[in-house]
Structures are given as C-alpha cells and as structure tokens.
Amino acid sequence: MKTREEKKADALLCVIEGEVDINTSVQLRKVFDDLIKRNEKKVLVEFSGVEYIDSSGLATLIEMFQRLKKIGGKLRFSGMSQKVKNAFEITKLHKLFEIFDSQEAALRDF
C-alpha cells in the first residue's frame, strides 16, 4: 500500500493505492495520526487506486472518522471501485461515511 498527500484549498487529499488489510492498515493509521497532529480537519481519501479492503481497513477508517468528528473535522471518500464499495455496502458503512463518485463532488461538499 502507498499513500500520498496533496493540499486542495483548505482540504487535505490523501490518495491510497494498493491493498488496505490487517498488515497495511497499521501504516494507514500512522498517516492518519499525522494528519490529526497537523490539525487537518477536512480530509478527503481517494480510493480509485485501492483494489481491496478488509475488516481491519474498515476499522481504521471508522477510527479516523471518530477522531476527526471529535475535533470538529470531516472525512470524505471518493473514487471507490464497486468491489471496494461492496464491503461498505455489506457492512452498511456507506450509511456512516460520506462517499462520492469524484474528488470534485467530495471537495464541493466540505
């Protein structure tokens, strides 16, 4: 799994590529820790490069959602493939998270 960040106006775009699973979610949690430390309050996670997510990956996203909410921040997702979105739909997490088709639509919503 690889991540990169890009500033988009007052939001922070975090692009994830590869697989988000029990082994790589440790690395993702560190990236999120850093964003919280830097007081980033509008975080958009781009998923178009994510091929796969397991329950540990989902838990890492829930944790980030909770941490951002606590500091008055917002978490948005964009670009999910249907295979990845399926894991959110099965677990009904698509009702918890704000998921958008494109980065533009997600950024407009902040």
Least Å distance, CB 19 to another protein, is 8
- Give the whole-angstrom CA distance, residue 109 versus residue 11: 11
Least Å distance, CB 96 to another protein, is 5
Binding mask 57-76 for another protein (x = CB under 8 A): -xx--xx-xx----------
Judged by CB under 8 A, the stretch of 6-14, 29-37, 41-49, 87-95 that binds another protein is 87-95
- The number of beta carbons lying within 10 Å of the beta carbon of residue 75 is 24
Q: Is residue 83 part of the contact set for another protein (CB under 8 A)?
A: yes
- Give the whole-angstrom CA distance, residue 4 versus residue 15: 5
The interface with another protein within residues 20-59 (CB under 8 A) comprises: 21-23, 52, 54-56, 58-59
Q: What is the dihedral of CA 57, 62, 66, 71, to 10 degrees?
A: 50
Contacts of 24 (CB under 8 A, 6+ apart): 1, 18, 57
| Interacting residues toward another protein by CB under 8 A | 21-23, 52, 54-56, 58-59, 62-63, 65-66, 82-83, 86-87, 89-93, 95-96
